Structure 1
Amino acid sequence: MMKYIYNQKILRLLLSGLLIISLASCKKGGAESKPVVKPPVVVTPPPSYSDPAAYGTPFAGVPAQKDMVMYEVNIRSFSQQANFQGVINRLDSIKALGVNVIWLMPTFPVGVLKSVPPLGSPYAVKDYTAVNTEFGDLTSLRKLVDLAHEKNMAVIFDWVADHTSWDNDWIKNKSWYLQDAAGNIINPPGTNWADVAALNYNNADMKTAMLRALRYWIFTANIDGYRCDYADAVPDDFWQSTIANLNAIPNRKLIFLAEGNKKAQFGDGFQLNYAFDFYENLKGIFADKKTPSTLFATQTSEMNNVANGGTKLRYTTNHDKNNEDGSPATVYNNKFGSEAAFVLSSCLDGVPLLYNGQEVATDKLMSIFTKDPINWAVNPDVTAAYKKILSFRKTNEAVKTGTITPYYDADVVAFKKTLQGKSVLVLVNVHNKTVIFNIPEALKGSAWLDIDKKQFTLSDNVTLQPYEYKLLSEK
């Protein structure tokens, strides 16, 4: 037994010695020891972007630029419901005017932080890929677009690319926004728009997110393009690459309208931009501050500032001008003046725009921050006149693209437009008084059809009642 214990002790000593030698060897010869092999780190790449599934069938009826008649919808003021269903309920009325493009003011959730009371500005976008629940949901928005397409009207969204609301989720990415010297995000430079934060177009990630959001609605709601708010403030290179990208989506014919007046925008891919000068001149003429002949100079100047087959959006009002200057019935002195002004905006070169309510000569100041429904029952005579004016435009190609011959007069805007040997003649009394227009020698004795298809022969002169107009086409 003692021997066994003794041998066990010897064995333990030998083993201990070997362990010590082994540890010492490891310390001295660490560089020669085998490295621990770790399993490879698997890096999962970020998911690649893909467009949402396409809803519906691309609309094949988007009108040619020369044939466009655009209608702006302020959803909050358009109906008692102040939602998408309220617009749906009046699609037939919009169509009956002769409209073929509907522009919906922003349909996105509105920011709350620093917002303008009581409801906030629809141009303070909180989420570029969501629907404002104030108006409905995606299903009701899609229904609106679908039904407009069924009635052969295109639908464009109002897009705000320059800025977002202060509570937009994008603001977590501070580098996506313009900042002052102290690193504070700022509102758009040169404005007093305290409810929005200015985006930074030197940031590639922000630009990618913006492009994806624009693509999103073309696929998700089957829309037909965009009216781009404050487009002058967004760099041309962004518009160029973005519009080219969107135009490359198969089977789509898209409309791009810039709220701006830069010639470069036509090179960027916009088909239309704003006739700012035309509006200001028209307003001045009806206020007796400018002579009728100045409208032709403005027309020529603006059309010389387009390119690539583009044209101007002509308007007598829109959501901005209604807020700033008053309703057309106020700006042009009464409902007859507003009607006469619309004749000029729809018969000179460009695409005519109607802002909801002007076709009933509403005197409302339709704030974009409140709900203030239009009374559609007033002034049915004005509505009937708008239909005739736009029908005259539609059935006479010379109105759309004819060559203008102006006739200068102190009281009347008078011009002929001719295309392929067919002419129209437009005479508009821009004063709230009766005037006599002396017929130019070249037109004396010529026979025409008036807007009601009745024969009208020009003699030496024409007496025009306050704000009366004549729309004449060749027999």
Structure 2
Amino acid sequence: MAIDSPSWLKSSVIYEVFVRNYGNAGTFNDIYNDIERIKALGADILWFMPFYPIGKVGRKGTHGSPYSIKDYEEISKEIGSKRDFKRLIDKAHDNGLKIMIDIVFNHTSIDSKLVETHPEWFMKDENGKLTRKVEDWMDVYDLDYEHEDLWDYLIKVLDEWVDLGVDGFRCDVASLVPLEFWKKARERLNQRKEIIWLAETLDPKFIHDFRTKGYNVHSDSEVYQAFDLTYDYDGFYNLKSYFSGEKDLNYYFDHVFLQDTIFPKNSIKMRFLENHDNPRIASVLEGKDKIKNWTVLYNILPGASLIYAGQELMMEKLPNLFEKDPIKWNQGDYEFLSFFKKIVNMTKEIKSTCDHFSIRDLSKGIIMIKWNGEEDEYTTILNLEDRYGEIPVDFTLYGTDLITNEIVSIQNYFVIRKLPIIIKTR
């Protein structure tokens, strides 16, 4: 984490919204009317995916990718106005929510305002034509940070959004943008107020492939010089190998341990099971009990937690980024919502009062996690593979399960439960 990162972020909860597909209207009003519910879920930060005008040239799908931005300083008319957004910001602030917006400074749309006014600010191929680093991103051109006046312009853009009331920035593919730019932007803006900086860092394969091509791609360890939080894509890379059946659980948990040693002390990962770029977890795992156990796991691991709108209702369908594809809120699982809300708020409290984390496997798929603080201690037992039966243990545990309020007594043997257990042991 950066040297001046706020400590409260270590247990923060981020709620991600895509305005176009949040509700049937696809406007800021959909979120404005839902602020109290989002706050009650345990959210601290409300993250808005890009809501800027989208380029038309090379557009993907009918409505286009929100990450193909035509103008960094404006809001798409279909979504609302700056006045509407300011009204929403004020209500969020009144309810104790911080506002974070998506910043996409690696590239713009092919027909962006900057392509028209400053074509010299863009990456060019050997023939002098505007181009990009990622070939599949056919609807964008990449910016070239060799131009200092580009830096000044982009920092001015950030200043304007802070003027409106924005509290933080989720920075798209931040690892592809020069670290010195991010450090300069942070230094400039944090003189004004506490700004939250979240970097979308990249998985190991992406970093390796792009460095092989000769590009300067920053690792998470480097990015922490300028950012408060980074994506857990380095861990999620291992987790996907487990979900696909290629690796076992320890492949992921070994990396969680490694993160504690290779990244700066007190650095913060943003944990997630899903986001707008990855499948809904309810479409990956089978059975509500298993999803409940994994929900506890990702929330109780060290770091911030991400909720992608609809995850709290165990939605299976991932909204299409390029089309109008609103979440079907009336089709959600509201029993799961009650459980989800309880877990998010409970684990947030645990992480905010404890500072030492440990994890061990009791048997295949059965994991025990402990959090210790000066006064408090919590023990969590998770059944991540929907197992059953009885296993020998080398500890004694007695207390009330904070999830169900049932008494739990474990000595010599543990009869595996389908649902997770969280006990305050001190």
Return the TM-score normalized by structure 1: 0.80
Of 405-414 and 145-154, the range deviating more from structure 2: 405-414
Equivalent-residue separation in structure 1 for 2:15 and 2:176 (angstroms)? 24
1:276 to 2:233 alignment: yes
SS at match of 2:39: helix
In the superposition, relative to structure 1, how do residues 184 and 403 fare at CA in structure 2: closer, same or farther (>3 Å)? same
Aligned-residue CA RMSD (Å): 2.0
**C-alpha contact (below 8 Å) 1:76/1:368 kept by paired residues:** no
Which of 173, 176, 201 is the matching residue for 1:230? 173
Equivalent-residue separation in structure 2 for 1:300 and 1:424 (angstroms)? 19
Query: Deviation string for 1:222-263 (max 9, x for gaps)?
Result: 0101000001100111111111111111xx111000001521
In the superposition, relative to structure 1, how do residues 383 and 470 fare at CA in structure 2: closer, same or farther (>3 Å)? same
Equivalent-residue separation in structure 1 for 2:101 and 2:24 (angstroms)? 22
In the superposition, relative to structure 1, how do residues 340 and 114 fare at CA in structure 2: closer, same or farther (>3 Å)? same
Mapping for residues 394-473 of structure 1, pairs under 5 Å: 394-397=348-351, 401-439=355-393, 441=394, 443-466=395-418, 468-473=419-424
1:180 to 2:125 alignment: yes
- Unmatched tracts of structure 2, length 5 or more: 1-5, 202-218
**C-alpha contact (below 8 Å) 2:354/2:372 kept by paired residues:** no
Identical counterparts, % of pairs: 26
**C-alpha contact (below 8 Å) 2:357/2:369 kept by paired residues:** no
Partner of 1:217: 161
Equivalent-residue separation in structure 2 for 1:210 and 1:302 (angstroms)? 32
Partner of 1:265: 223
Equivalent-residue separation in structure 1 for 2:183 and 2:256 (angstroms)? 27
The alpha carbon displacement at 1:103 in A equals 0.5
Instruction: Please tell me the residue identity of whatever aligns with 1:306.
Output: F
Partner of 2:320: 367
Partner of 1:42: none
Query: Deviation string for 1:328-366 (max 9, x for gaps)?
Result: 111122443333222111111111111011111111121
The alpha carbon displacement at 1:211 in A equals 0.9
The alpha carbon displacement at 1:110 in A equals 0.8
In the superposition, relative to structure 1, how do residues 303 and 367 fare at CA in structure 2: closer, same or farther (>3 Å)? farther
In the superposition, relative to structure 1, how do residues 164 and 347 fare at CA in structure 2: closer, same or farther (>3 Å)? same
Equivalent-residue separation in structure 2 for 1:436 and 1:318 (angstroms)? 36
Mapping for residues 194-205 of structure 1, pairs under 5 Å: 194-205=138-149
1:102 to 2:46 alignment: yes
In the superposition, relative to structure 1, how do residues 282 and 337 fare at CA in structure 2: closer, same or farther (>3 Å)? farther
Equivalent-residue separation in structure 1 for 2:349 and 2:265 (angstroms)? 26
**C-alpha contact (below 8 Å) 2:17/2:47 kept by paired residues:** yes
The alpha carbon displacement at 1:67 in A equals 3.0
Equivalent-residue separation in structure 1 for 2:425 and 2:320 (angstroms)? 43
Of 373-382 and 231-240, the range deviating more from structure 2: 373-382
SS at match of 1:257: strand
Of 453-462 and 310-319, the range deviating more from structure 2: 453-462
Equivalent-residue separation in structure 2 for 1:63 and 1:374 (angstroms)? 33
Which of 347, 353, 356 is the matching residue for 2:306? 353
Equivalent-residue separation in structure 2 for 1:213 and 1:118 (angstroms)? 28
In the superposition, relative to structure 1, how do residues 465 and 407 fare at CA in structure 2: closer, same or farther (>3 Å)? closer
Of 230-239 and 394-403, the range deviating more from structure 2: 394-403
In the superposition, relative to structure 1, how do residues 340 and 288 fare at CA in structure 2: closer, same or farther (>3 Å)? farther
1:393 to 2:336 alignment: no
Aligned length: 402
Equivalent-residue separation in structure 1 for 2:73 and 2:424 (angstroms)? 48
SS at match of 2:181: helix
**C-alpha contact (below 8 Å) 1:412/1:437 kept by paired residues:** no
Equivalent-residue separation in structure 2 for 1:140 and 1:382 (angstroms)? 32
The alpha carbon displacement at 1:454 in A equals 3.7
Equivalent-residue separation in structure 2 for 1:103 and 1:134 (angstroms)? 19
Instruction: Please tell me the residue identity of whatever aligns with 2:119.
Output: K
Query: Deviation string for 1:26-70 (max 9, x for gaps)?
Result: xxxxxxxxxxxxxxxxxxxxxxxxxxxxxxxxxxxx982123111
Which of 256, 259, 263 is the matching residue for 2:197? 256
Equivalent-residue separation in structure 2 for 1:348 and 1:399 (angstroms)? 14
**C-alpha contact (below 8 Å) 1:225/1:256 kept by paired residues:** yes
Equivalent-residue separation in structure 2 for 1:100 and 1:236 (angstroms)? 27
SS at match of 1:320: coil
Which of 198, 217, 241 is the matching residue for 2:184? 241
Equivalent-residue separation in structure 2 for 1:228 and 1:105 (angstroms)? 10
Instruction: Please tell me the residue identity of whatever aligns with 2:307.
Output: L
Q: Which has the bigger relative contact order, CA under 8 A and spacing at least 6?
A: 2
Equivalent-residue separation in structure 1 for 2:65 and 2:389 (angstroms)? 44
SS at match of 2:150: helix
**C-alpha contact (below 8 Å) 1:416/1:424 kept by paired residues:** yes
**C-alpha contact (below 8 Å) 2:8/2:352 kept by paired residues:** no
**C-alpha contact (below 8 Å) 1:107/1:122 kept by paired residues:** yes
Mapping for residues 85-100 of structure 1, pairs under 5 Å: 85-100=29-44
Mapping for residues 56-205 of structure 1, pairs under 5 Å: 64-172=8-116, 173-187=118-132, 189-205=133-149
Partner of 2:208: none
Equivalent-residue separation in structure 2 for 1:288 and 1:138 (angstroms)? 47
The alpha carbon displacement at 1:431 in A equals 1.5
